Amino acid sequence: MSEVFGLTAADLAHRLGAGEISSVEATQAHLDRIAAVEEEIHAFLNVNTDEALAAAADVDARRGRGEDLPELAGVPVAVKDLVVTRGQVTTAGSRMLQGWVPPYDATIVQKLRAAGMPILGKTNMDEFAMGSSTEHSAFGPTRNPWDTSRIPGGSGGGSAAAVAAFQAPLAVGTDTGGSIRQPAAVTGTVGVKPTYGSVSRYGLVALASSLDQAGPCARTVLDAALLHDVIAGHDPLDATSLPEPAQPYADAARAGAANADLTGLRVGVVRELGGEGYHQGVRDRFTESLDLLVAAGAEVVEVSCPHFDAALAAYYLILPSEASSNLARFDGMRYGLRVEPSEGPVTAERVMAATRGAGFGAEAKRRIILGTYALSAGHYDAYYGSAQKVRTLIQRDFAAAFEQVDVLVSPTTPTTAFRLGEKVDDPMAMYLNDVATIPANLAGIPAMSLPSGLAEDDLPAGFQILAPARADASLYRVGAALEAHQLSAWGGPLIDRIRSVEAGA
Ligand code: GLN
C-alpha cells in the first residue's frame, strides 16, 4: 500500500515532521479516499471537508514557522458520532439528534484539536451505541470493507470500517460493552478500551455512565498508542476521571516492538471465554497467536473466571438501567427532536410521548423499557440489585486471576463478521457477540483487540488482551510484541490484503 492513505499514522507523522508531505496533502488524500469508497462503505454520517482542510493548513503554517508541534500534528482522524463536536452535527446515530449542532467540544475533541489533528468527520454507529453491527443506526448500516455484504461490528462500526478501508489512519471510538474491540476484531484492525476513568467522558453522549469509555481505533498497535496518548489524562469536568496522569503508551508500544522477547511474562487464557460457542476458525487463529507468545518466551497457563458465565446477563440489566435514565433527557423540551401530537392537546406529556415514539428506534425503545422495568420499585432488588452483585463477583474473578498472571487473553468475539440482516431482528443473537468483551467493562479494566489472522472464511478474527486497571501500558507492550511476531509469521500486515474496496480506489 504505497499511497498516502495507506501509511500508518506513525509513518505519516514522521513524513509530516520531515517536511516530505504537508498536512493539507495528507488530509486531501484521505478525503479523496473517502470520496472513492464511501458509497460502498458508509463509514461516515458527516464529512467535514472544509474544516479538516482548514485545520490542516493551520498546522502546515505553524510547522512552516518552525513551531514545536505534537507528534500527531497534521495527521487526520475520524471521530465516532457519539462524541460532541462544536459546530459539527452530532447525532449518536439517532433521529432524536438529527441535525443537532453542539455548542461545545468534548474534552477528547479539544485534545485532538490541541494536538493539531484535522477531524475528517463523524462516523456511523448503532443508535446511542446500542448494538454490535451498526444496523441500529437511524441512517443506514456501515459495511465491512473485507466483504461489503457483512457487518463491520458495532456500535462503532463506522470508526473501525473507516480505518480498515483506509479512509482515516486513526479514529476515536467508545466502548461500553465492546464497541471498540468487537468492530476491531471483525475488521482486522486494532482497538483499545482504556481503563475506566482514564479518558474523559465529558462530552460523550452517555449510554451507561459506569461502563462508557472512549479509546483509539487504528491499524497498528503503535498507532493506537499514539492516539491513546493524545486523548488520555485527568479531566476535572468528568467526576469519574482518574487523578493520575496518563502513562506514555507509545513508548510502551515501541519498547514492545523493539524487544519482542516476552520471557518472564505470565499469560492467562480465560477458560470461560473460548470453547464451544466460538467458531473453529476463530479458535484456531487464537491458538496460533498464543503459540507465538509462547515462542517469544511467555509462560501460558489456563485460568478460570467462574462468574463470567453470568456477565452477559448482568450487563444487559445494568446497561439498560443506566441507559433508561440517561436517555430520559430526550424529551422534546430541551434540545434535539420535538414532535407535537398530530391531534388533541399539546401538553408536555403528550409532546414527550410523540417525540420519543418518533425519535427512538426499536433497540433503544427495547432497552429503555427493560431498564425502567429493572429499576422499578417492585423489581429493583431482583434485577438491578442482583446484576450489581454479579458485577462485584466478576471484579473479584479478575482480581484473583491477576494474582496469577500479568495479562489475560481470549478471542475478542465468538465469530467473524456475520451478514447484514442476519441477526438484526434477533436481540439475543446480537447480544451474544459481546460475551467476551463485556467482562472488562463491568470491571473497569483495560483491554485491546488486535488481529489474529484470517479465519477459513477469509475474514479477520480478533485476539483480546486484558490487563489490570491502570496497566494499559502492558497491553501496548504485549500487543506490539505479538504484532511484531505476527508480521514475521504472516509476511506483512494483514490489513494490506483487504480487497473488496480496492475497486473504488
Ligand atoms: N454491543 C454492545 C451493546 O449493544 C456494545 C455497547 C457499546 O460498547 N457501546 O450494548
pLDDT tens digit sequence for 48-103: 999 999 999 999 999 999 999 999 999 999 999 999 999 999 999 999 999 999 99
Res 233: pLDDT: 96
Q: Ligand 1 centroid to 433 CA: how many Å?
A: 10
Contact 66, 42 (CB under 8 A): no
Distance CA 325, CA 161 (A): 31
Pocket test for ligand 1, best of 124, 128, 130, 370 (most atoms within 8 A of CB): 130
Q: For the chain, what percent of residues have pLDDT higher than 90?
A: 96
Distance CA 134, CA 45 (A): 12
* Residues 418-477 pLDDT 10s: 999 999 999 999 999 999 999 999 999 999 999 999 999 999 999 999 999 999 999 999
Using DSSP's 3-state secondary structure scheme, residue 99 falls into coil
* Residues 42-62 pLDDT 10s: 999 999 999 999 999 999 999
A 10 A CB-CB count for 102 gives: 19
- In this structure, the dihedral spanned by the alpha carbons of residues 386, 389, 390 and 394, taken in order and rounded to 10 degrees, is 170
Distant-in-sequence, close-in-space partners of 347: CB < 8 Å, separation ≥ 6: none
Res 1: pLDDT: 62
Candidate CATH numbers 3.90.1300.10, 3.40.47.10, 3.30.930.10, 3.40.50.2300; the one for domain 4-265+447-500: 3.90.1300.10
Q: Output the average pLDDT for the chain.
A: 96
- Residue 441 CA, closest ligand 1 atom number: 8
- What nine digits make up the cell of 282? 476463530
Pocket test for ligand 1, best of 434, 435, 437, 449 (most atoms within 8 A of CB): 434
Domain ranges of the chain: 4-265+447-500
* Residues 116-137 pLDDT 10s: 999 999 999 999 999 999 999 9
Sheet (strand 77-80) strand order? 44-47, 119-123, 77-80, 170-174, 214-218, 190-193, 447-454, 460-466, 407-411, 266-270, 299-303
Q: For the chain, what percent of residues have pLDDT higher than 70?
A: 99
Q: Are strands 299-303 and 266-270 parallel, antiparallel or unpaired?
A: parallel
Q: Exposed (0-12), middle (13-18) or buried (19+): which is 357, by Cβ within 10 Å? A: exposed
